[in-house]
Amino acid sequence: MRYSQLLLKTTKESKQFDSINATLLIKGGFIDQTMAGVYTFLPLGWRVLNKIENIVREEMDAIGAEMLMPTLSPRSLWEQTNRTGFDVLFEARGANKASLAKNDTAFIINPTHEELITPIVQKMKPSYKDLPFGVYQIQTKFRNEERPKSGLLRGREFRMKDLYSFHVSLESMQEYYEKAKEVYMNVFRRVGLGDDTYIVRASGGDFTKDFSHEFQTVCESGEDTIYVNDEGDGWNKEVATEEVQSSYTQHPASEVGNIFPLGTKFTKAFNYHFRHEDGQEKPVYMASYGIGTSRIMGVLVEKFHDERGIIWPDSVAPYTVYLAGLNGDDETIRNQADGVYKALQKAGIDVLYDDRNVSPGDKFGDADLLGIPWRVVVSKKTGGQIEVKRRTEQDNTLMSAEEFIKQVTN
């Protein structure tokens, strides 16, 4: 992609937002704030989010099938589970005269989808032969946070992967639940958060009376506090006993995922039973599993940056290579840069080609701010070769485009 074709305007203004991720993502043209806690993912940011969500998708496919549920739902579903009082719930109604005159029942703009998936599955009347199974989706969730903050870490509208599993027994649910933990850790490893992400016990909140488990990434700007020990055993502060607090290490952390053993809470509310082998009807056990994909994007920036900008892990970077020709009016250099661009594209490498007629400082500054893993420069100094620099390193290396392609595609 050519820089000039991407809707991208970076800024070198020194304005600071309330968090590092908001500051760098806005300055770098990844996101734009539409209102408090609501952001547009601009082309560059959308690419990062897609990289993250594709990793999530690949891992989730091991334990469930992807689907897509609606954003709107009838209020009646929430009345059935007694969650109309969920205080972050958004309601919507038609604004035309006819709707207002009829005093239509409001729709719920879904904050989560237990109320949706349970009746859908129920309608299909799966028997014990069909269980267990899991289904998931990746979509935008809406929660009316009274105080959105910290950029992508807490919004009123955010991206989330939610998975729901259904089981004949508590044991089956627990087995699947353990499997989900492994799959989740695969996701966090692949996006670059493996070293600092812990599974901790937490309260079930609005969903369940039992413990749930949270995936917490140690992060200075995180809103949570966790306690972990050397064996990797962890607790959220909200449920940690005094004994844990005194013997474990405390860290600030951000919750990037969670899993809830719901048991029969929702299936009972919808009177959902399955037919067992012996002909008896028994309640279905259910669990739900979330990963905040947009929050992961924010956490990555919080953890991986320096004074010049973002440092994306290779797996989620919007592009692999930032290519800049320092050509000015020199057509030879520009043609060389064009040639390198084509060669990289042909080799299947995601490259952002800074084809603007701006000063070298502008290009270097953006390369650092945008945090793309490799910087490639073509100039009169490079004599037909290319200059290659890792975002994480100071020094650069001169090599041929072919050598570089070989190195990156390996």
Residues of this chain that interact with RNA (CB under 7 A) are 9-10, 12-13, 15, 17-18, 33, 35-37, 87-88, 141, 143, 145-149, 153-155, 158, 160, 203, 205-207, 214, 223-224, 238, 255, 257-258, 290, 292, 294-295, 308-309, 326, 328-329, 357-362, 364-369, 377, 379-382, 387, 389, 396
Q: How far is the CB of 147 from RNA (least distance, A)?
A: 4
Tokens of 75: 């209020």
Omega into 132 within 30° of 0, i.e. cis?
A: yes
Shortest Å, Cβ 319 to RNA: 16
3 state DSSP class of 102: helix
217-237 burial, b at 16+ Cβ within 10 Å, e below that, comes to: bbbebbebbbbbeeeeebbbb
| Non-local CB neighbours of 311 within 8 Å, separated by 6+ positions | 304, 305, 371, 391, 392
Least Å distance, CB 208 to RNA, is 10
| Minimum distance of RNA from residue 355's CB (angstroms) | 13
Pull the structure tokens for residue 177: 């639940």
Q: Is the Cβ of residue 359 or residue 392 nearer to RNA in the bound state?
A: 359
Choice between 126 and 327, CB closer to RNA: 327
First to last CA, the chain: 22
Report the relative pairing of strands 90-92 and 31-35 from DSSP bridges. unpaired
CB of 201 vs RNA, minimal distance in Å: 13
Contacts of 80 (CB under 8 A, 6+ apart): 115, 269, 270
State the alpha helices, DSSP H only, in 248-359: 265-269, 293-303, 331-346
Between residues 50 and 396, which has the closer beta carbon with respect to RNA? 396
For RNA, the closer of residues 125 and 390 by Cβ is: 390
Q: Which is nearer to RNA, 153 or 349 (CB)?
A: 153
Residue 54 dihedral angles phi and psi, to the nearest 5°: -70, -35
Single out the residue of 171, 174, 178, 222 nearest to residue 199, CA to CA. 178
**Least separation in angstroms between CB 394 and RNA:** 8
Q: Would you state the structure tokens that stand for residue 186, as one six-digit string? A: 């695969």
Owner of token pair 């485009």: 401
Least distance to RNA, CB of residue 326, Å: 5
Size (the chain), residues = 410
Closer residue to RNA (CB): 9 or 102:
9
CB atoms within 10 A of CB 331: 10
Which tokens go with 207? 């969903």
Please say which residue, 196 or 362, places its beta carbon nearer to RNA: 362
Closer residue to RNA (CB): 43 or 328:
328
> How far apart (Å, rounded) are the C-alpha atoms in residues 6 and 230?
46
Query: Closest approach of Cβ 308 to RNA, in Å?
Result: 5
